[in-house]
A = this chain, B = another copy of it.
Amino acid sequence: MPRNRAAPERPALTVDVVIFRLADERLETLLVRRGFPPFKGRWAIPGGFVHKNESLDAAARRELKEETGLEGIYLEQLYTFGDPKRDPRGRVVTVAYFALIPGTAAARAGDDAAEVGWYPLIKLPEIAFDHKNILQYALRRLRYKLEYSAIGFQLLPSEFTLAELQAAYEIILGEPLDKRNFRRRILEADVIEATGDYRSGTVGPRAALYRYRPDAVAEVKARRLFP
């Protein structure tokens, strides 16, 4: 808290929300095409100014809803980027968040005229500002958290099969996992429970459906899921 009496700089303050989803066997993120300079035509992480009397979390949640129409989504603060030169128009400090949206939630492509699109992280278009840094940072954090907490479920619909869950982990981590070991660990971690229903795949036996047990989060945080 300031003790000096110098006039404070009052930078513009934005939140940027890195929104992840799983689609087409890839991890994708939502980007917005800029219609004005600077970086006209390049793609940016969706975000906007923090309003008066609005907390940072609330601003991020509002942005997320504006872009996707979704509420009740997993959202966490990532990092704050404040390099004086990161926006050529002047000082803009941004608090970056990342959000995970369940695969099924057909996030609509934004409710305003702006051009928006989902891009796989492995094949990003030309990115504006320092947003490539932010995306990389978000991906690192996602992978990291995936190993230690139950965050992976947030990218799946409320009911899913173990094969789907494993596929989600493999996509995000970028490496194959052993089926039997995966199942053992996930089940021993006690973070999911069978719904009792089954899903008929295209071919082969029916797969048991599971759901996430939200009350289990706290317990898991301490112990690595995938060492």
Asked, given contacts A8-B13, A77-B79, A93-B13, whether A53 binds B84 with beta carbons under 8 Å apart, the answer is yes
**A9, B51: Cβ atoms closer than 8 Å:** yes
- Residues of B within 8 Å of A10, CB to CB, are 10-13
Residue in A46, A82, A87 with the greatest tally of chain B CB atoms within 10 Å:
A82
Within 8 Å by CB of A52, from B4, B80, B84, B95, lies B84
Residue in A11, A44, A81 with the greatest tally of chain B CB atoms within 10 Å:
A11
Task: Output the least CB separation between A226 and chain B (Å).
Answer: 12
**A34, B1: Cβ atoms closer than 8 Å:** yes
Q: Mark A38-63, 1 if CB is under 8 A from B, else 0.
A: 00000011111111111110000000
Asked, given contacts A2-B47, A13-B9, A34-B1, whether A95 binds B80 with beta carbons under 8 Å apart, the answer is yes
Chain A interface bracket (under 10, 10 to 19, 20 to 34, 35 or more): 35 or more
Q: What are 21 residue pairs bridging A and B, where the CB atoms are less than 8 Å apart in the complex? A: A1-B32, A1-B44, A1-B45, A1-B87, A1-B129, A2-B49, A3-B35, A3-B46, A3-B48, A3-B114, A8-B49, A9-B52, A10-B12, A52-B84, A54-B84, A55-B82, A55-B83, A77-B79, A80-B95, A82-B95, A224-B227
